[in-house]
Amino acid sequence: MSKKPVKIVTIGGGSSYTPELMEGFIKRYDELPIKEIWLVDIEDGKEKLEIVGKMAQRMWDASPYDVKVHLTLDRREALKDADFVTTQFRVGLLNARIKDERIPFSYGMLGQETNGAGGMFKALRTIPVILSIVEDMKELCPDAWLVNFTNPSGMVTEAVMRFGKWDKVIGLCNVPVGAMLDEPKTIGKTLDQLTYKFAGLNHFHWHKVYDENGKEVTKDIIEAMYEGKDMGIPANIHDIPFFKEQLLQMNMIPCGYHRYYYREEEMLAHGLEEYNDPKVGTRGQQVQQTEHELFELYKNPDLDHKPEQLAKRGGAHYSDA
């Protein structure tokens, strides 16, 4: 039996992450037979939308699949009869992220987009917008699933459920997937040989790991963390080591974002050092430069695949989520 052609709408479609998303859809086309993709953005993001939209179409044209990429600034036009809606927008664009980081740092506090004062700033700007999207979905695509990548993912997704009264929603980030893809090799295993058990969600989770015989190997991975092996720490998190004895006593592996809690003083000191260095700047300022480089690459009419430089953006593997 043939599968129903799928319509996907991505709000924030002009994001530099869009090629990562397209790559994931192409890899999984047999499971999700997409017919059309609508990339939606706002007037201020029009130029980026056009650049990344053309690249997205080139990626599909280079694949074996016949998929049309539509570009629009009209969200409601795109949402009509959608099957899935993915959200990856940033209210206020990157300049707002930079303010989210620099304002807390100016008061000697951590500035970060998923937690702390910066995360709260971003949530307060984002939640009204996501709720308005949900209202449009109730009218235009009431059977669709909402897949939220917009940070702070936990707060935004909870708001959709509690205040938007929309249960067909999943909130995702790339952090758990990154752990599952990078940790197995540190103990000479592959992912299909291991079972992961998670407590918590996304940027606030811990996990335990078991091998194919049911034996727990969490402590083996913890030991490997201190042997200089690549643990897949996201590019946007400064790699200050956790306290080894703390992890061994917990017998759980925290996600990288727990550094903002378990190593708060060190992370704050590092953040302030970058904030005070005009040649470095906050993470948002660094991303601004990375995005400029990425969009110059995306303009290349011969580029029809995700460039390696996108991994610097901090969203590696997010389409695998």
Kindly report whether the global pTM for this prediction surpasses the value 0.95.
Answer: no
Residue positions counted in the chain: 321
Instruction: Provide the pLDDT for residue 1.
Output: 39
* Contact (CB, 8 A) for 144 and 286: no
Q: Would you write out the chain's pLDDT as a tens digit for each of its 321 residues?
A: 357 889 999 999 999 999 999 999 999 999 999 999 999 999 999 999 999 999 999 999 999 999 999 999 999 999 999 999 999 999 999 999 999 999 999 999 998 988 899 999 999 999 999 999 999 999 999 999 999 999 999 999 999 999 999 999 999 988 899 899 999 999 999 999 999 999 988 888 999 999 999 999 999 999 999 987 665 566 667 888 999 999 999 999 999 999 999 999 999 999 999 999 999 999 999 999 999 999 999 999 999 999 988 876 666 666 776
Nearest to 225 by CA among 250, 205, 209, 242: 242
Q: Any idea what DSSP says for residue 241?
A: P
Complete domains list, the chain, with CATH:
6-172+285-313 (3.40.50.720), 176-266 (no CATH)
Which residues fall within 8 angstroms of residue 251, CB to CB, at 6 or more apart?
208, 216, 218, 219
Does the CA dihedral 287-290-296-302 come out positive or negative? negative
Crossing angle of helices 153-162 and 116-140, in 10° steps, is: 40
Catalytic residues: 257
Q: Where are the beta strands (DSSP E) in 15-138?
A: 34-40, 68-72, 84-87
